Amino acid sequence: MEFLNLGWSEILLILLVAFVILGPDKLTKTGHDIGAWLRKLNRSETFRDVVQTTDQIRNFPRKIMDEARLDPIFPDRAMYQEVIKDFGERGPEENSQPANSGDLP
């Protein structure tokens, strides 16, 4: 889980540094002020619009794939199966030697 694109270890490090710098008395007041500011930010209409737009941008490629009805992993399985049926799956032959490039002795 990430908050503001920070992992738990980064958040813990920031809190530890804040505790060392501010001390226990100022840390509680500062935490209260930051909490009030984040609450106000979360209730803001502009912030909600930014979050909604970010979600739309993040999901846009998936929306395009769904509308085009494409499978993102194997877009054309029918063609792949047809090639296997016609030619079979070929791997390296067991007794084949690698090609000599002349670079190595």
Model confidence over 33-58: pLDDT tens digits?
Answer: 989 998 998 888 998 898 889 888 98
Residue at 71 is within a domain: yes
Residue at 70 is within a domain: yes
pTM for the model stands at 0.41
Residue owning tokens 């502009």: 46
Residue at 99 is within a domain: no
Mean pLDDT for the chain overall: 76
pLDDT at 65: 75
* Total number of domains in the chain: 1
The closest alpha carbon to 34, from 52, 46, 22, 50, belongs to 22
* 18 neighbors 30 (Cβ within 8 angstroms): yes
Residue at 98 is within a domain: no
pLDDT at 1: 46
pLDDT at 25: 84
Residue at 94 is within a domain: no
Residue at 46 is within a domain: yes
pLDDT surpasses 80 at 12 = yes
Give the domain extent around 16: 8-87
Give helix then strand counts, H and E, for the chain. Answer: 3, 0
Q: Which of 49-58, 62-71, 91-100 has the highest mean pLDDT?
A: 49-58
